[in-house]
Chain A
Amino acid sequence: MAPHIELFLQTLIAGILLGGLYALIGLGMALILGVMRIINLAHGDQMMIAMYVAFFGYDLFHIDPYISIFIAAPVLFLLGVGLQKFLITPVLRVESILPHNQVILTVGIGMVLSNLATVFFTSDYRSTPVSYATTAWYLSDYWKDAPIELSLSLPWTVSFVFSVIISTLLWFFLGKTDTGRSIRATAQDLDAALLMGVNVQRMRMLTFGIGSALVGAAACLFIPIYYLYPALGKQFTNIAFVITILGGLGSVEGAIVGGVILGIFESMTSTYLGMGWAPAGRFIIFVLVLIFLPGGVASLIKKKRLAR
């Protein structure tokens, strides 16, 4: 019995921690997609750039990746604002038959970003082997006669905690500050916001910048647990999409809950069904949510609130 419980609990823990990280990766996209309805296929590549910032911070200046959040996030913010101002806005402004030009634009941006990284940084795999990379807390160290062994990895837990902190800060920002409310207003109804005097252009730039900064923070939290190479963007763009839809466009709470649900789901599928199927599960949830719960988890949360 004990091995089964151990397996289940360890899988659950892994899922929750993974979910926290996923949530942060998806949060940026959820914001951008929710506020601006822009599908950003370069999201993962932006994350890759932030990871390089963190990597060089570590490699050249011995800055711990977690500290690099304070460097990478602003850098990505500027990058995001720049992309929005110089590339995305011109595309959005033009009348075209299909409004999907911006998606192709982001494909082009992603291509340029990942190729420039290959040219300048080479395709060598990089990592930040910090000293605490494999440190973990073990249940048996604290409870001498534990029937099962559980381990809690230090870097994973730190990422989770940071994720929660950052998301909470974001939630406050969006809910309690004027700028935050203006952003939400732009998301809910563009014309109404304009009429209410919101500088919509500015809000959109700000949103893209914040969304990019979020993915920059996620990158720093992620690099100690993983590794880095120029082509890694694509899979994280996919994950971000799933979180965004699962959580509900533009919703911070939704993204967190969605992220954790996805993390747990993937972990459980990996253990009990086979890891090869886990990515399929990710997309199947995606489609199911699209069909049956288009507002994502956020709509469930709202329903509960209204019902009270």
Chain B
Amino acid sequence: MKKYIPFLVLGCMALLPLLGLSDYLMHILILVLMWSVIGMAWNLLGGYCGQVSFGHAAFFGVGAYSAGMLYYHTGIAAWWGMPIAIVAALLVALGIGVISLRLRGPYFVLSTLAIGEIFRIFAENLETYTQGNLGIMIQERTWVEKAPYFYIILGIAALTFAVVKIVVQSKWGYYFVAIREDQYAAESLGINSTLFKTIALSLSGVFTGIAGAFYMNYMGYIDPGIVFALGDISILTVMVVMVGGVATYWGPVVGAVIMVFFSELIRSLPTIGSAHQTLFGILLIVIIIFLPNGIAGDLPKLIRILGIGRKQ
């Protein structure tokens, strides 16, 4: 039965646009799906392989700009940017891998943070290529309705989910976790940690890049401050996974729902107004303290706390 859950969820999601939901809700759902993709991609590297990156905006932005620059300089539809985004993200991943993967612990984290910011600043300054802070705007988006975008991102999300599941359930996944738990022990068993960390990083980067290219096409406007943002992209990615549940299949999805949906909900509450960030910050702190492995990761504990489920 458990085996069929992903397909059931996919099926239900596919039917959603037919319910005639408002454009606003569709927009939120599309964002939730996009963040699920990024979260799942990050989770592969961070949750399963233990390499926590605070610079995933580098991949997202590279993907977005691949699509954007293609459109801006050649006029070709930005959707063709997706294959380019894949290649670009891969190259970036390999580059970052060479630089950062030799670092451990907080050093790795900080180096990814720095690299993300370096990309942002380069994008801001290389105006001839990227238009700098003027950003890139698509004159006419491909569709006005939300449904096509919804199906595209749903497809990408399903693909990402499938790839993550297959990889994690394969020998590679086993190596990833071994590296996460104890890199030296893994190496002593003959696992080439650098190779597998690079593989994880590459897969992670490529899917994040695809999400970036999607963003360019969907939102129609990007600039370095948006797509290479430390707080709004890199840190948000980490939050999505850590709140949702690291090293679980559904964790990033749950996290995306909370970070996107809930934050939008809280933001729209009538009287709270500008204090919404405080509420959200508190929510974050509470989740981190009581559910350290995220909601999906600590599901039993959460069920206990909420008092649902059978009494023992």
Any A–B CB pair closer than 8 Å: yes
**Dominant secondary structure at the A interface:** helix
Q: Is A199 an interface residue (CB 8 A)?
A: no
Interface size on A, residues (CB 8 A): 45
A123 to B54, CA, bound (A): 28
A96 nearest in chain B by CB position: B292
Q: Is A87 an interface residue (CB 8 A)?
A: yes
- The verdict on A115 contacting B239 (CB below 8 Å), with A98-B50, A108-B281 known, is no
B281 engages A98 (CB within 8 Å): no
Q: Is A139 an interface residue (CB 8 A)?
A: no
**Dominant secondary structure at the B interface:** helix
How far, in Å, is B203 (CB) from chain A's closest CB? Answer: 18
**From residue 84 to 107 of chain A, which have CB atoms closer than 8 A to chain B?**
87, 90-91, 94-98, 100-101, 103-105, 107
Interface size on B, residues (CB 8 A): 49
A36 to B105, CA, bound (A): 13
Interface stretch among A158-166, A174-182, A217-225, A281-289?
A281-289
A38 nearest in chain B by CB position: B106
A115 to B111, CA, bound (A): 28
- The verdict on A119 contacting B47 (CB below 8 Å), with A98-B242, A280-B122 known, is no
Q: Is B63 an interface residue (CB 8 A)?
A: no
How far, in Å, is A107 (CB) from chain B's closest CB? Answer: 6
A87 engages B293 (CB within 8 Å): no
A287 to B113, CA, bound (A): 10
List, in ascending order, chain B residues with CB within 8 A of A109's CB: 281, 285
List, in ascending order, chain A residues with CB within 8 A of B242's CB: 98, 100-101, 104
A290 engages B124 (CB within 8 Å): no
Q: Is B46 an interface residue (CB 8 A)?
A: yes
List, in ascending order, chain A residues with CB within 8 A of B247's CB: 97-98
B278 engages A98 (CB within 8 Å): no
A100 to B105, CA, bound (A): 10
A111 engages B288 (CB within 8 Å): no
A290 engages B239 (CB within 8 Å): no
B113 nearest in chain A by CB position: A241
A213 to B261, CA, bound (A): 38
How far, in Å, is A109 (CB) from chain B's closest CB? Answer: 7
How far, in Å, is B304 (CB) from chain A's closest CB? Answer: 15
Q: Is A126 an interface residue (CB 8 A)?
A: no
- The verdict on A100 contacting B239 (CB below 8 Å), with A108-B285, A279-B121, A290-B103 known, is no
B107 engages A290 (CB within 8 Å): yes
List, in ascending order, chain B residues with CB within 8 A of A276's CB: 121, 124-125
List, in ascending order, chain B residues with CB within 8 A of A39's CB: 106, 109-110
- The verdict on A100 contacting B115 (CB below 8 Å), with A119-B275, A277-B121, A291-B102 known, is no
A33 to B293, CA, bound (A): 23
List, in ascending order, chain A residues with CB within 8 A of B10's CB: none
A280 engages B246 (CB within 8 Å): no
**From residue 276 to 297 of chain B, which have CB atoms closer than 8 A to chain A?**
276-278, 280-282, 284-285, 288-289, 292-293, 297
List, in ascending order, chain B residues with CB within 8 A of A97's CB: 47, 180, 246-247, 293, 297
Q: Is A116 an interface residue (CB 8 A)?
A: yes
List, in ascending order, chain A residues with CB within 8 A of B285's CB: 87, 105, 108-109, 112
A245 to B109, CA, bound (A): 12
List, in ascending order, chain A residues with CB within 8 A of B118's CB: 280, 283-284, 287
A245 to B106, CA, bound (A): 10
Q: Which of A95, A101, A118, A294 has the most CB of B within 10 A?
A: A101
- The verdict on A111 contacting B284 (CB below 8 Å), with A104-B239, A294-B103 known, is yes
Q: Is B52 an interface residue (CB 8 A)?
A: yes
List, in ascending order, chain B residues with CB within 8 A of A94's CB: 289, 292
B284 nearest in chain A by CB position: A108
B277 engages A100 (CB within 8 Å): no
Q: Is A37 an interface residue (CB 8 A)?
A: yes
A280 nearest in chain B by CB position: B121
Indicate with 1 or 0, residue by residue over B120-139, a CB within 8 angstroms of chain A CB atoms.
01101100000000000000
How far, in Å, is B94 (CB) from chain A's closest CB? Answer: 16
Q: Which of A33, A112, A294 has the most CB of B within 10 A?
A: A112
A115 engages B292 (CB within 8 Å): no
Pairs across A and B, CB under 8 Å, 19 listed = A91-B288, A96-B292, A97-B293, A98-B242, A103-B238, A104-B242, A104-B243, A108-B285, A112-B277, A114-B277, A116-B275, A118-B277, A119-B275, A241-B114, A245-B107, A245-B110, A274-B125, A290-B111, A294-B103
List the 6 closest A-B pairs by CB distance, nearest first.
A111-B281, A115-B277, A108-B284, A96-B292, A112-B281, A280-B121
Known interface pairs A98-B47, A114-B277, A279-B117; 9 further A-B residue pairs with C-beta atoms within 8 A, sorted by A's residue number: A41-B235, A87-B289, A90-B289, A94-B292, A98-B50, A98-B247, A115-B274, A284-B118, A290-B114
